[in-house]
Amino acid sequence: MKVSSSVFQSAAKSIDKYAQFVPKSGVFPKGYEVASLASGVKKNGALDLGIIRNINKSKKSSAAAVFTTNRFKAAPVQFSRKVLQSRSGEGIDAIVVNSGCANAVTGELGLQDAEKVAGQVNKLVGNSDSTLLMSTGVIGQRLQLEKITAGIDRLFEEKKFSTDFDGWLNLSKSICTTDTFPKLISSKFALSDGTEYTLTGMAKGAGMICPNMATLLGFIVTDLPIKTSVLQPLLSGAVNRSFNCISVDGDMSTNDTICMIANGAIDTTVIDENSPDFEKVKDQVTEFAKQLAQLVVRDGEGATKFVTVNVKNSAEFKDAKIIAETISNSMLVKSALYGQDANWGRILCAIGYSKLENLASLDESKINVSFVATDDSTPRELKLIVNGVPQFDIDETRASEILKLPDLEVLVDLGTGSEECQFWTCDLSHEYVTINGDYRS
Amino acid sequence: MKVSSSVFQSAAKSIDKYAQFVPKSGVFPKGYEVASLASGVKKNGALDLGIIRNINKSKKSSAAAVFTTNRFKAAPVQFSRKVLQSRSGEGIDAIVVNSGCANAVTGELGLQDAEKVAGQVNKLVGNSDSTLLMSTGVIGQRLQLEKITAGIDRLFEEKKFSTDFDGWLNLSKSICTTDTFPKLISSKFALSDGTEYTLTGMAKGAGMICPNMATLLGFIVTDLPIKTSVLQPLLSGAVNRSFNCISVDGDMSTNDTICMIANGAIDTTVIDENSPDFEKVKDQVTEFAKQLAQLVVRDGEGATKFVTVNVKNSAEFKDAKIIAETISNSMLVKSALYGQDANWGRILCAIGYSKLENLASLDESKINVSFVATDDSTPRELKLIVNGVPQFDIDETRASEILKLPDLEVLVDLGTGSEECQFWTCDLSHEYVTINGDYRS
């Protein structure tokens, strides 16, 4: 690795997270090449421009994306949506990611800048309308177009594209802003007939101080062939159970984008809704997306704890999710977790003000709430509320042990059905306030 | 004042707030008597039990209340709702407030405890079904019934009821938990014919560490006669523009209650929807409720700033309110305000993810966002976004001056209509995390 990792060095406290969560090797899907460099947009000389190319020339390639629902959609979001709509049924050849400038709230000129960048890459890969864009960083500033176009030319001219581990790791670094570690995962999976395929994913997360943004970017690429009409719902479903089930502070940005390419470089039958392996692939992609999304929470600003909020046995999935999200976003719950306070009242209170779609999902007399240890210590489950009744003889020593764990679970059993939603959140620490409050002062 | 104010002394930093916001005298409405004492529920010997009696025996008395929409309604909420429903068209004679124990999540036994307390007071005032209850404090604990019933007996036997300023102030203290100052306001108003009437209000606020609760309690009493069928919508409307327009952390408790008595002790025509003064009274009550609600925000846990979020020129009031609330609850916006960071991106971002009911309320190209100074300094308004376009030449010195003010306004002009909503919030400080995180540690 030649590239400076200065962007990570400032987060001295998080060096352990880097060691713990960043892989040291990996296998990657066939038919992709990646490249990244420091274009000069980031003043500290860190990586800030990356491209992933789909170089598989089979016609089996497809692409899909899930974009922010924020009304103020950044230029790259508007642009990429249009590309995917215009190419329905066909894959795309390149994703360009730049960090340091989000090209958000930049109006018509910002959209023109986006078109120029994509146009340049389309030309270089020899295919029109085949490039998606992702940007993250400062909002309300225009792209430094000269630096970015020069950077793109260098990537192609100097043949910086590679397929090796360092290449992928550097790409995952180039999309970071205030992340304290890059988020890169890669795994092999098998279909029923033994055919192996690979999923690789990367994301950038909850670093929002640079200076105006909270952006979640991620992409997943695979060499499996998946029919386009299937890939979009498959990705949407996976995102619904992963990136839409994480919370650092409940804010949703103008640039949030998760996209997926399935280039079909593996020689096997295209997966569609009638494939015997359809459900299997769907589950594998969903589980993979969950892993990636969880890394974003682990790097939550100031986070000292990784908390799984598991709401099970609900009459409706939607309501399980609304309850899980409400608990996960409660400042009172998050503060209590930081303070290692077994404050079941705040959890119950958050459940009670969740805006349910079906009121029957919640029956006050059927609810059970527990803390669950995620290490090997026992008893694993500490019951706080049983059938709506608070437990007054809670083992405070055990409560304190569980709450000291860096990973723990809040388990809510609604007892009204069989649907389940897991949500991942972090605690609210002094450090969060420092990071987000003291930026200019 | 003989009563210990030890509950307030711990908040040394807030002594200035006490001096600034607690009145030193007041006029109070006719036909009410108040009393309070330390029943022993609060371990520090502070006031924790209070009663307000409506002693006007005219038949013109009416009462109304707005209760929490939390699914886990505390026993006093369930009980008081039932009383008001059963007495439609008639006023009530007493409100009993106890602090230190919320009688929440206490099931059937908690409800029986509430009934006992109310039954005792009904007997003492000689009227059945005429007592409302409010409780705040620890949840999941039963009332210490002996202390409370003994306290109520003492209040009546020892003739502790009074109509003077100290009596009202002590009552306002007896409903506090972790509040750093009691919230009491009182004003005279005039009808068109010159008839004077009085509104007195008190509230307890955003003290949520004792140890499991966030509770908002408040009541407003007046000597004006108001028809019951009018009083309920009038109070609901006022609450919708006041107590429902404040946010400390977005959590809503099991006990939240705002109630109002209009006992008709002033000899004038009963106000109903056809009275020439109906709109005037409605506005006066609403403005009064706003003042009271704002005191709750000023005492927000750890708050260093009082921020008015004013969303104007919206196509719909509901959407103006949703946007104002979303900005007010954004942890990123609140942290930036604490850090005195002119972070318009976070404000715009929060506007963009507000869950509007009518999408036409927001037009990205018509939006204007400003910081507004609330002191006499100029220029009062600092434009951050004009017709959707960020202003890149913001006067940073002036921005910094405005953001240093303890009171400031975030002004959002949607430009899509003529509806307006004001919301009041505070910043998110290290102190908030300390108060809410370090309770047990």
Q: If you average pLDDT over residues A122-146, what whole number do you get?
A: 91
CA dihedral A220, A251, B432, B256 (to 10 degrees): -120
Q: Say if residues A65 and A118 touch (Cβ distance below 8 Å).
A: no
| Amino acid identity at B339 | G
* pLDDT attached to residue A342: 75
**A362: Cα within 13 Å, side-chain hemisphere:** 26
Domain boundaries, chain B: 6-298, 306-437
Whether the predicted pLDDT of B57 surpasses 90: no
Length of chain A: 441
B390 three-state secondary structure: strand
Pairwise CA distance, residues A342 & B440, whole Å: 9
The overall longest dimension of chain A from CA atoms, in Å, is: 70
**Terminal CA-CA length for chain B:** 35
Please check whether residue A211 touches B, CB under 8 A. yes
Cβ of A349 within 8 Å of Cβ of B213? The answer is yes
Query: Which residues make Cβ contacts (< 8 Å) with residue B134, sequence separation at least 6?
Result: B76, B80, B95, B96, B97, B98, B175, B217, B219, B255, B257, B259
Q: Which of A221-225, B65-69, B428-432 has the lowest mean pLDDT?
A: B428-432
- The annotation places the binding site of A at 177, 204, 215, 301, 436, 441
pLDDT digits (tens, 9 = 90+) for A199-221: 999 999 765 433 334 568 999 99
| Residue A441 binned pLDDT confidence (cut-offs 50, 70, 90) | very low
Is residue A230 within 8 A of residue A238, CB to CB? The reply is no
pLDDT the model gives residue B206: 63
Evaluate if residue B209 carries a pLDDT over 70: no
Phi, psi of B283 (to 5 degrees): -65, -40
Q: Does A214 touch chain B (CB under 8 A)?
A: yes
Instruction: Return the residue of A nearest to B301 by Cα.
Output: A332
Mean pLDDT, residues A380-409: 89
CB-CB contact of A259 with A219 (8 Å):
yes
Whether the CB-CB separation of A66 and A224 falls below 8 Å is answered with no
Task: Reply yes or no: is the peptide bond before residue B211 cis, omega within 30 of 0.
Answer: yes
Question: pLDDT tens-digit profile of A39-89?
Answer: 999 989 999 999 999 999 777 899 999 998 888 889 999 999 999 998 866
CB-CB contact of A306 with A338 (8 Å):
no
Q: Mean pLDDT lowest for which of A178-187, A273-282, B172-181, B388-397? A: B388-397
Q: Do the Cβ atoms of B373 and B395 come closer than 8 Å?
A: no
B341 and A71: CB-CB below 8 Å? no
Q: The domain at A306-437 falls in which architecture?
A: Roll (3.10)
Q: Do B437 and A336 touch (CB under 8 A)?
A: yes
Rounded CA-CA distance A97/A135 in Å is: 6
pLDDT band at B13 (very low <50, low <70, confident <90, very high): very low
Determine, for residues A353 and B392 on separate chains, whether the beta-carbon distance falls below 8 Å.
no
* B270 close to A (CB below 8 A): no
* pLDDT value of position A171: 98
Residues of B in contact with A392 (CB under 8 A): 140
Residue A393: is it exposed, middle or buried by C-beta count within 10 angstroms (0-12/13-18/19+)?
Answer: exposed
Greatest CA span in chain B, whole angstroms?
70
Residues with Cβ within 8 Å of A90's Cβ and at least 6 positions away in sequence, in order, are A61, A62, A63, A228
- Count of Cβ atoms closer than 10 Å to residue B324 Cβ: 29
CATH match for A9-298 among 3.40.50.920, 3.60.70.12, 2.40.50.100, 3.40.50.300: 3.60.70.12
Residue A215 bears catalytic tag:
yes
Check whether B178 has a pLDDT greater than 70. yes
- Residue A421 in contact with residue A317, Cβ under 8 Å? yes
Q: How many whole angstroms from its chain centre is CA A66?
A: 11
Q: Does A386 touch chain B (CB under 8 A)?
A: no
> Rounded to whole angstroms, how far apart are CA atoms B37 and B143?
16
User: Chain A within 8 Å of B45 (Cβ-Cβ)?
Assistant: no
Q: pLDDT value at position A3? A: 31
- DSSP, collapsed to helix, strand or coil, labels residue B224 as coil
The Cα A365–Cα A214 span in angstroms is 39
What value does the mean pLDDT take over residues A305-334? 92
Residue A211 preceded by cis peptide, ω within 30? yes
Cα B251 to Cα A338, B121, B340, distances in angstroms: 17, 32, 24
Distance CA B406, CA A65 (A): 44
Q: How far apart are CA A293 and CA A390, in angstroms?
A: 33
Check pLDDT > 50 for residue A439.
no
* The 3-state secondary structure of A204-257, one letter per residue: ECCCCCCCCCCCCEEEEEECCCECHHHHHHHHHHHHHCCHHHEECCCCCCCCCE
Report which of residues A17 and B290 the model is more confident about: B290
Q: Are B136 and B217 in contact (CB under 8 A)?
A: yes
B20 to chain A nearest CA, in Å?
27
For chain A, what percent of residues have pLDDT higher than 90? 60
Average pLDDT of the residues of chain A? 87
How much is the CA Rg of chain B, to the nearest whole Å? 22
- Chain A residue numbers with beta carbons less than 8 Å from the beta carbon of B208 are 332
Q: What is the pLDDT of residues B15-24, one digit of tens each?
A: 478 889 999 9
Q: For tokens 């793109």, what's the residue?
A: A152
Q: For residue B363, list chain A residues with Cβ-Cβ distance below 8 A.
A: none
Q: CA-CA distance, A11 to B212, in Å (whole number)? A: 34
Instruction: Identify the pLDDT of residue B89.
Output: 65
Q: Name the CATH topology of B6-298.
A: L-amino peptidase D-ALA esterase/amidase (3.60.70)
Tokens of A94: 């390149």
d(CA B394, CA B383): 8
Q: Is A417 on the interface with B (CB under 8 A)?
A: no
Which of B71, B335, B338 is facing A362, going by the closest CB pair? B71
Residue type, B427: D
Burial classification of residue A93, based on how many CB atoms lie within 10 Å of its CB (0-12 exposed, 13-18 middle, 19 or more buried) = buried
Contact A251 B346 (CB under 8 A): yes
Flag whether pLDDT at A438 surpasses 60: no
Q: What are phi and psi of A46, to 5 degrees?
A: -80, 160
How far apart CA A37 and CA A50 sit, in angstroms, is 7
pLDDT tens string A235-262:
999 998 998 888 765 556 778 899 999 9
Which pLDDT score, from 0 to 100, does residue B438 have? 54
Cβ contact, residue pair A211, B438, below 8 Å: no
Is residue B9 within a helix (H) or strand (E), and if so which, with residue range? helix B6-9
- Across all residues in chain B, what is the average pLDDT? 87
Distances (CA, A) of A319 to A168, A324, B181: 38, 8, 39
CB contact under 8 A, B251 and A351: no
Annotate B263-323 with DSSP letters as a single string.
---S-SPPB-TTSTTHHHHHHHHHHHHHHHHHHHHHT-TT---EEEEEEEEES-HHHHHHH
Q: Can you tell me the distance from the alpha carbon of B3 to that of A278, in angstroms, rounded to the nearest whole number?
A: 73
**Cα gap A87→A99, rounded to integer Å:** 26
Q: Which residue has the tokens 């000597």?
A: B223
Q: What are φ and ψ of residue A244, in 5° steps?
A: -85, 5
User: How far apart are the CA of A101 and the nearest CA of chain B, in angstroms?
Assistant: 13
DSSP letter string, B42-106: STT----EEEEEE---STT-EEEEEE---SS--HHHHHHHHHHHHTTT---SEEEEEEEE---S-
Residues of A with Cβ-Cβ distance to B433 under 8 angstroms: 335, 338, 428-430, 432-433
Q: Look at A348 and B72 and tell me if their CB atoms are within 8 Å.
A: yes
The residue among B409, B338, B212, B122 whose CA lies nearest residue A433 is: B338
> Which of B335, B361, B404, B416 to mutate against chain A (most A CBs within 10 Å)?
B335
Please say whether the beta carbons of B64 and B52 come within 8 A: no
Across B221-237, average pLDDT: 95
Of A70, A348, A385, the CB nearest to B352: A70
How big is the CA angle at A305 (ends A300 and A311), to the nearest 5 degrees? 95
Residue B265 has pLDDT above 60, yes or no: yes
Strands B257-262 and B217-222: parallel
Residue of B nearest to A328 (CA): B251
